[in-house]
């Protein structure tokens, strides 16, 4: 650990002119991905600081880090309201029209007896996306008020935990695949909700890019000093840790707000003085949890592929098809690009995730040279980012089951294999979340 914790300054990349003054204060940061303690310099607007050892993004500074994300999240709420109250798609089969909205997919899945799958689709497309935008507006809007509302730190922590489960962008790709599949069955038109949700997706991505979470935490802490009764700070118990003043061994990185703290001397686990999260040197039981979740994902992946996920009946002909069967049908229809998307999301990504998690767990148990660790940490970043994209197939099936209910002309139902596949996706996302990449660097330093 001595080599790992020696004083280093994080390199900053700045598009601003050299004469620009910093918009952030210098700070000590322990990297969330490799555990390297380093001094973060003052950053000019637009500049980003990366970890010197593993390349992780430590901070991206913006001139006005609160106003633009607030405006974009307000736009998200308006667009989501439009998306939830209008039709997502309208289909026409021999004169009979049928429309589906954002709520139709979960309802159709519940009608098929797959209510657990319906609940997952409801959570990731209907409940979580507006909740994330509302919590962001609550925090950023609250910080602008003279007398801020209570629980800003709690609300921002919850927002950051929910963010990976907001999956509108994945849902839209699922809709795109569903429309292409529908082309062969019935006449399809995207409804106004599709375009509203597309706008929601663009605004969400833009808001994520311009949001500097560190600036939000600093603003919350500043306002807590001015009006202590309104923030988490008074709830912080006596063993609250102290923010680190210089890089050194044994520093703790807050899992919720990234504040780097000195380890408290007492027997109790320390708490972050800024957001009250419990501080641990590393994620507790990370290896055992990750291994158990990855193994469970592997177990569910067998029925996910063996059992059918979708049944398409057209003019009383058709049969249930598996995930690979669906890819094969797209290839047979010469829809190469869609076949590639579905194969990538439903076959390649889950397999690569499970193999990648295995490789990372092996890196914890075996010493690796530094350049391999940089690659392994980059692999962790990729695995954390791509897992949610496997939901494309589930969203596509939900929309098809909601839209195509024309009796003998054309009917689509989702089959129980989809439930096993969704379990695989959720378990791999949870496995990646519980893995602590710093353990790989610890193993190399031993």
**Residues in contact with Zn ion by the rule CB under 5 A:** 31, 33-34, 36, 51, 53-54, 56, 254, 256-257, 259, 272, 274-275, 277
Q: Closest distance between Zn ion and the C-beta of residue 401, in Å?
A: 43
User: Which among 175, 183, 170, 176 is positioned nearest to 334, based on CA atoms?
Assistant: 183
* 220 or 398: CB nearest Zn ion: 220
* 37 or 47: CB nearest Zn ion: 37
* 23 or 275: CB nearest Zn ion: 275
User: Which among 248, 290, 319 is positioned nearest to 29, based on CA atoms?
Assistant: 248
Cβ-based neighbours of 327, under 8 Å, separated by 6 or more: 339, 342, 343, 346, 347
User: Which among 225, 221, 222 is positioned nearest to 272, based on CA atoms?
Assistant: 221
Q: Closest distance between Zn ion and the C-beta of residue 204, in Å?
A: 24
Q: Closest distance between Zn ion and the C-beta of residue 389, in Å?
A: 25
Q: Measured between alpha carbons, how far is 236 from 231 in angstroms, rounded to an integer? A: 10
Q: Measured between alpha carbons, how far is 171 from 111 in angstroms, rounded to an integer? A: 20
96-100 and 187-190 as β-strands: parallel, antiparallel, unpaired? unpaired
CA–CA distance from 78 to each of 47, 75, 418, 444 (Å)? Answer: 31, 5, 32, 50
* 30 or 405: CB nearest Zn ion: 30
Torsion angle defined by CA atoms of residues 341, 391, 181 and 325, in that order, rounded to the nearest 10 degrees: 80
Q: How many CB atoms lie within 10 A of CB 127?
A: 15
In total, the chain counts a number of residues equal to 446
* 275 or 399: CB nearest Zn ion: 275
CA end-to-end span of the chain, whole Å?
7
Q: Measured between alpha carbons, how far is 88 from 48 in angstroms, rounded to an integer? A: 38
Q: Closest distance between Zn ion and the C-beta of residue 274, in Å?
A: 5
DSSP 68-136: HHHHHHHHHHHHHHHHHHS-SEEEEETTEEEEE-TTHHHHHHHHTT-HHHHHHHHIIIIIHHHHHHHHH
Q: Closest distance between Zn ion and the C-beta of residue 253, in Å?
A: 9
Q: Closest distance between Zn ion and the C-beta of residue 277, in Å?
A: 5
Q: Closest distance between Zn ion and the C-beta of residue 163, in Å?
A: 16
* 261 or 403: CB nearest Zn ion: 261
* 33 or 169: CB nearest Zn ion: 33
* 138 or 441: CB nearest Zn ion: 441
Q: Closest distance between Zn ion and the C-beta of residue 236, in Å?
A: 10
């Amino acid at each position: 650990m001595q080599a790992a914790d020696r004083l280093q300054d994080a390199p900053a990349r700045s598009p601003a002119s050299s004469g620009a003054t910093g918009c952030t204060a210098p700070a000590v940061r322990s990297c969330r991905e490799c555990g390297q303690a380093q001094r973060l310099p003052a950053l000019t607007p637009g500049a980003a600081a990366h970890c010197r050892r593993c390349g992780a993004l430590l901070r991206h500074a913006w001139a006005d880090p609160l106003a633009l994300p607030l405006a974009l999240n307000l736009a998200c709420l308006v667009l989501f309201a439009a998306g939830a109250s209008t039709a997502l798609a309208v289909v026409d089969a021999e004169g009979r029209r049928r429309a589906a909205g954002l709520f139709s997919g979960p309802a159709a899945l519940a009608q098929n007896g797959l209510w657990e799958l319906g609940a997952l689709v409801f959570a990731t497309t209907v409940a979580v996306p507006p909740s994330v935008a509302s919590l962001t507006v609550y925090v950023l809007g609250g910080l602008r008020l003279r007398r801020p509302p209570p629980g800003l730190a709690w609300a921002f922590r919850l927002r950051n935990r929910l963010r990976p489960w907001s999956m509108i962008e994945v849902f839209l790709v699922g809709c795109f695949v569903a429309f292409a599949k529908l082309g062969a069955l019935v006449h399809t038109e995207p409804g106004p909700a599709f375009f509203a949700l597309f706008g929601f997706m663009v605004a969400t991505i833009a808001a994520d890019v311009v949001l500097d979470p560190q600036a939000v935490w600093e603003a919350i802490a500043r306002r807590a000093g001015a009006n202590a009764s309104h923030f988490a700070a008074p709830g912080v118990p006596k063993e609250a840790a102290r923010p680190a003043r210089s890089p050194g061994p044994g520093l703790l990185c807050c899992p919720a707000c990234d504040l780097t703290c000195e380890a408290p001397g007492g027997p109790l686990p320390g708490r972050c003085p800024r957001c009250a999260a419990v501080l641990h040197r590393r994620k507790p039981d990370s290896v055992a949890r990750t291994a158990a979740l990855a193994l469970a994902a592997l177990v569910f992946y067998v029925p996910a592929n063996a059992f059918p996920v979708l049944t398409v009946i057209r003019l009383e002909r058709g049969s249930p098809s598996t995930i690979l069967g669906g890819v094969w049908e797209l290839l047979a229809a010469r829809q190469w690009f869609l076949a590639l998307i579905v194969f990538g999301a439903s076959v390649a990504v889950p397999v690569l995730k499970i193999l990648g998690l295995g490789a990372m767990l092996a890196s914890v148990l075996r010493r690796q040279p530094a350049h391999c660790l940089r690659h392994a940490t980059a692999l962790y970043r990729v695995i954390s980012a791509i897992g949610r994209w496997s939901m494309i197939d589930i969203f596509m099936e939900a929309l098809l089951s909601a839209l195509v209910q024309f009796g003998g002309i054309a009917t689509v139902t989702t089959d129980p294999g989809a439930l096993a596949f969704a379990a695989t996706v959720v378990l791999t996302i949870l496995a990646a979340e519980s893995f602590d990449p710093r353990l790989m660097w610890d193993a190399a330093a031993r």
